[in-house]
Amino acid sequence: MHGIVLLDKPSGISSNAALQITKRLYQARKAGHCGSLDPLASGLLPLCLGEATKVAGFLLTTDKHYQTRCRLGVTTTTGDAEGEVLAVQPVGAYSMAELESVLAGFRGEQQQVPPMHSALKQQGQPLYKLAHRGLSVERAPRTISVNELRLVHYSGDELTLEVACSKGTYIRTLVEDIGVRLGCGAHVTALRRTGAGGYRVEDAISLPALQVLAGQGPESLDQLLLPMQSALAGWPQLRLSEDSTYYLQRGQAVFVPQAPASGWVSLYAADERFLGMGEMLGDGRVTPRRLINYPAC
């Protein structure tokens, strides 16, 4: 099995648990997910099976889309509803203009300090393991970009927001920071990923539906697989001659007329077979970086 499955992960299980279930259903030797979702979160989780794991790293770098529900006036240890309550503060009667003014300050490129309850590692230890032991360490801020931040609903102490952001953005931290700016604190009560790169949650399948299809046989599961090159939508595409394909698949850089001057490209044989990913060297040649092992298919 080689391809990408778009899973609508339910809340209540980890991304890895969802991955392992899917891997068993497909009887795949290799599998990986493209951007972890917290157990509280639901929504789009692209899963790469077999040779498609070679494109997983590129999916991790794509922009993401979320819808989140926030509770104002309460802060927690984790920044979401799974943590213990730290403080309760009164919530003001904010006007739409006041809320919009605060949200406007969080749009665009900015610095964000990752939360302690995250999978980021410090000296080999995931931060969340340190947090579970009651430890807190200094974290360097990272540059992120919030491309869209829209207020969908506001009532009393509850906000619903739609967010489009760059990789590495923590929605829990964004919500906490919005709460600080409002002066009342806030935490996430629900989070749903609605998009990742060119993929949308409307095209994803639920875990129960996937299990039903598995009972109908491997052919039914096959129909869900997206081609691995779908993860590279928007990349320049190079089609190689038979001779160039031969040398490229043996690790050699080859010259391609009218190729981009620089950057990553997706590579195809003359018969439209996807070969993998390459990088331009600047002299008109493309060098192979990650090639698909079709003999293993």
Active site residues: 38
Q: How many whole angstroms separate alpha carbon 106 and alpha carbon 90?
A: 22
Question: Which residues lie below 8 Å from residue 9, measured CB to CB, with a gap of 6+?
Answer: 15, 18, 37, 41, 42, 43, 44, 45, 207
What's CA 120's distance to the chain center, in Å?
A: 15
According to the 3-state scheme, what is the secondary structure of the chain? CCEEEEEEECCCCCHHHHHHHHHHHHCCCCEEECCCCCCCCEEEEEEEEHHHHHHHHHHHCCCEEEEEEEEECEEECCCECCCCEEEECCCCCCCHHHHHHHHHCCCEEEEECCCCCCCCEECCEEHHHHHHCCCCCCCCCEEEEEEEEEEEEEECCEEEEEEEECCCCCHHHHHHHHHHHHCCCEEEEEEEEEEECCEEHHHCEEHHHHHHHHHCCHHHHHCCCECHHHHHCCCCEEECCHHHHHHHCCCCCEECCCCCCCCEEEEECCCCCEEEEEEECCCCEEEEEEECCHHHC
For the purposes of burial, counting CB atoms within 10 Å of the CB of 204, is it exposed (0-12), middle (13-18) or buried (19 or more)?
Answer: buried
